[in-house]
């Protein structure tokens, strides 16, 4: 956050110095930028969530509309011990995805796509909602919204400046030889900074976003105590090749899985990825569940569902101490957060 | 003079530490109470839902009166146990969970019943209530763990002892109770 603000300040100073001229011009424009940035942040703080929801075409639903989704959100609110249930939104689109937004747990929303609800079973849906609930509990939603707004402003300012200087909008109105030379150098610095600043800002934003995704995966599991549910949900979402039309570059980092492109095979994340590689996230979750990738195979669940009357031979089921059907099949062997059985 | 100032500073620092520890103990204890009331809310909700369910299925299940009677009896026992402390209540509620499980197992055998919209939505509501109970219990137990640790660990145990912060009981679930009644609805 500090870095992003400093970047914005540097950009303001240099552009100001180059365009208006001299240190006073730099400080002047820096001040203007500062005021605009603060105003922008306050606006984003109070209504950023509504903007994001509107841009995504999400509409609010009640318990009567979507009982299961609403119930699952309530369950995770209780598990997280949050004071109030977030507003629940649905995006009418077939690509499965979900995000959370808001400024604090009392003013938060969770949105899921229609495709997510159709594609996931209750247990998987619970995993996804737990992930989003963790973003809310960890105040990632506020952070992501504010960083997104400031980064957006840097990009806008840099873009604006570059366009103007290319079209010769800033004529040299000042005479004087040495001053002119200094002005030219400043102009070059401003242009370079205007090109680099958005890239640096994006890379910071994305690095933060990637780390928070891992954290939300882990603390989501702390809520459900069921890593396999989220692992299978991520696998299902990754299997779907359709991009989410409701998402754009500014909102992409909010979603549980990158909605713009589903790169399933990548092993390492690049500087400009908003999300960690999904295969790596799934692998970590499987490790928590102490099962192998066979637990992700659709047949594993289908067979377990069919096994309501008996135990159909499941590959690898002997090693798994539970049936995949029940919403909360087992405690993972001792993660530190599980309360130990107390001595009577 | 300097000695007096040093003593005063030490006393003030000790006072601040004391207040901090005391306040965090109170905060933790309130969290435990709040978590307990959450469990209570969900248990009551389950007690309220059961008569509806019994009403909805009893016409179909003329041959399964025994199962229904068991559920009704377990519900009554659970309501009575409400005033007898966490341990007794946990036991009665676990009995109720067991009886519901067998009821849902019976429902599986009646295709008409499984397709009934009313029964389906009641099943979803009971499933979520079961889940909420166990998540509320999970949160309660986590809160109790943190609170008990604070009352027993040095140095906060000194202040806990002075102001009678007693340890709280966990809400225990027997093995196998982690499985909610099997409902495979989408």
What CATH number corresponds to the domain at position B68?
A: 1.20.1440.20
Asked, for residue B180, whether it belongs to a domain, the answer is no
Per-residue pLDDT tens digits for A31-42: 777 787 778 778
The percent of residues above 70 in pLDDT, for chain A, comes to 75
Q: Verify whether residue A132 is a known catalytic residue.
A: yes
Out of B135, B169, B180, closest to residue A78 by CB: B135
Would the CB atoms of A328 and B186 count as touching at under 8 Å?
no
Q: Centre a 10 Å sphere on the Cβ of residue B107 and count the other Cβ atoms it contains.
A: 22
Contact B54, B100 (CB under 8 A): no
User: Structural domain tally of chain B?
Assistant: 1
Give the fold, CATH level 3, of A2-169+179-230.
Zincin-like (3.30.2010)
Which among B145, B180, B186 has CB closest to A339? Answer: B145
- CB–CB contact B128 A71 (8 Å): yes
Highest mean pLDDT among A177-186, A204-213, B107-116, B174-183 belongs to A204-213
What does the pLDDT read at residue A179?
61
In this prediction, residue A298 carries a pLDDT of: 60
Contacts of B136 (CB under 8 A, 6+ apart): A78, B35, B38, B39, B41, B42
Q: Distance between CA A191 and CA A208 in Å, rounded? A: 27
SS3 (DSSP) at A60: strand
- C-alpha span between B186 and B183 (Å, rounded): 9
Quick check: A301 pLDDT over 60? no
Full residue range of the structural domain in which residue B70 is found = 2-162
Tell me whether residues B172 and A337 touch, CB distance under 8 A. Answer: no
What is the rounded CA–CA span in Å between residue A16 and residue B160? 60
Comparing C-alpha atoms, which of A69, A96, A328 is closest to residue B183? A328
- Find the range with the poorest average confidence among A103-117, A156-170, A212-226: A156-170
8 Å CB contact between B35 and B41? no
Note whether A292 and A316 are within 8 A (CB).
yes
Q: Do A81 and B170 touch (CB under 8 A)?
A: no
For chain A, what are the domain ranges?
2-169+179-230
Q: Give the per-residue pLDDT at A166.
A: 62
DSSP for residue A255: B
Q: Looking only at Cα atoms, what is the longest distance across chain A?
A: 92
Place of tokens 């000042």: A174
- Contacts of residues B61-66 at CB distance under 8 Å and 24 or more positions apart, as own/partner, are B61/B106, B61/B110, B61/B113, B64/B106
Nearest to B135, CA basis, from A109, A84, A77:
A77
Pairing verdict, β A98-104 and A87-91: unpaired
d(CA A53, CA A51): 5
Alpha carbon of A117: minimum distance to chain B alpha carbons (Å): 9
Please tell me the distance from the alpha carbon of residue A7 to that of residue A33, in angstroms, as a whole number.
11
Is A2 a residue whose pLDDT tops 50?
Answer: yes
Question: Which token pair is A290?
Answer: 């102490």
The Cα B12–Cα B174 span in angstroms is: 49
Q: Which residues of B touch A (CB under 8 A)?
A: 31, 35, 38, 42, 108, 121, 124-125, 127-128, 131-132, 134-136, 138-139, 141-145, 169-170, 172, 178-180, 182, 184-186
For an interface test with B, the pick among A75, A85, A219 (most B C-beta atoms closer than 10 Å) comes out as: A75
Residue of A72, A327, A339 lying closest to B170 (CB–CB)? A339
Does B186 fall in a domain? no
ipTM of the complex: 0.77
Integer Cα distance of A192 and A218 in angstroms: 40
Q: How confident is the model at residue A337 (pLDDT cuts 50, 70, 90)?
A: very low
């Amino acid at each position: 956050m500090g870095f992003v603000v400093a970047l914005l300040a540097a950009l303001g100073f240099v552009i100001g110095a180059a365009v208006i001229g001299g240190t006073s011009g730099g400080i002047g424009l820096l001040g203007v930028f500062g005021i605009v940035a603060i105003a922008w942040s306050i606006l984003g703080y109070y209504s950023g969530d509504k903007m994001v929801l509107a841009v995504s075409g999400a509409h609010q639903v009640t318990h009567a509309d979507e009982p299961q989704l609403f119930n699952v959100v309530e369950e995770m609110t209780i598990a997280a011990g949050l004071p109030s249930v977030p507003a629940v939104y649905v995006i009418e689109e077939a690509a499965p995805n979900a995000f959370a937004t808001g400024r604090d747990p009392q003013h938060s929303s969770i949105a899921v796509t229609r495709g997510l609800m159709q594609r996931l079973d209750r247990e998987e849906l619970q995993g996804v909602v737990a992930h989003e609930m963790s973003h809310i509990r960890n105040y990632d939603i506020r952070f992501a919204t504010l960083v997104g707004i400031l980064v957006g402003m840097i990009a806008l300012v840099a873009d604006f400046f570059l366009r103007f200087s290319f079209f010769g909008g800033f004529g040299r109105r000042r005479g004087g030889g040495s001053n002119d030379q200094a002005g030219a150098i400043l102009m070059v610095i401003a242009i370079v900074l205007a090109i680099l600043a958005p890239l640096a800002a994006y890379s910071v934003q994305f690095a933060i976003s990637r780390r928070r995704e891992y954290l939300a995966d882990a603390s989501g599991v702390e809520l459900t105590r069921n890593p396999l549910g989220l692992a299978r949900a991520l696998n299902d979402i990754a299997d779907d090749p359709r991009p989410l039309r409701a998402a754009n570059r500014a909102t992409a980092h909010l979603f549980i899985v990158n909605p713009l492109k589903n790169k399933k095979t990548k092993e390492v994340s690049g500087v400009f990825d908003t999300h960690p590689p999904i295969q790596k996230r799934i692998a970590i979750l499987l490790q928590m569940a102490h099962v192998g990738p066979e637990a992700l195979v659709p047949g594993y669940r289908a067979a377990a569902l069919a096994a309501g009357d008996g135990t159909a031979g499941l590959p690898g089921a002997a090693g798994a101490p539970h049936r995949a059907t029940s919403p909360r099949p087992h405690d993972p062997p001792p993660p530190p957060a599980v309360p130990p059985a107390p001595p009577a | 003079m300097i000695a007096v100032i040093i003593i005063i500073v030490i006393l003030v620092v000790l006072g601040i530490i004391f207040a901090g520890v005391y306040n965090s103990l109170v905060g933790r204890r309130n969290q435990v109470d709040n978590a307990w009331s959450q469990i209570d809310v969900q248990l009551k909700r389950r007690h309220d839902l059961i008569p509806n369910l019994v009403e909805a299925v009893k016409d179909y299940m003329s041959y399964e009166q025994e199962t229904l009677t068991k559920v009704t009896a377990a519900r009554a026992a659970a309501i009575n146990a409400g005033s007898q402390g966490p341990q007794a209540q946990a036991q009665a509620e676990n009995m109720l969970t067991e009886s519901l499980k067998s009821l849902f197992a019976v429902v599986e055998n009646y295709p008409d019943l499984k397709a009934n919209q009313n029964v389906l939505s009641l099943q979803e509501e009971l499933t979520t209530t079961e889940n909420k109970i166990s998540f509320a219990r999970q949160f309660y137990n986590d809160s109790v763990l943190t609170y008990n640790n604070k009352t027993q660990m040095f140095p906060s145990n000194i202040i806990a002892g002075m102001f009678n912060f007693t340890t709280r009981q966990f809400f225990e679930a027997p093995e196998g109770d982690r499985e909610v009644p099997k409902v495979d609805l989408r």
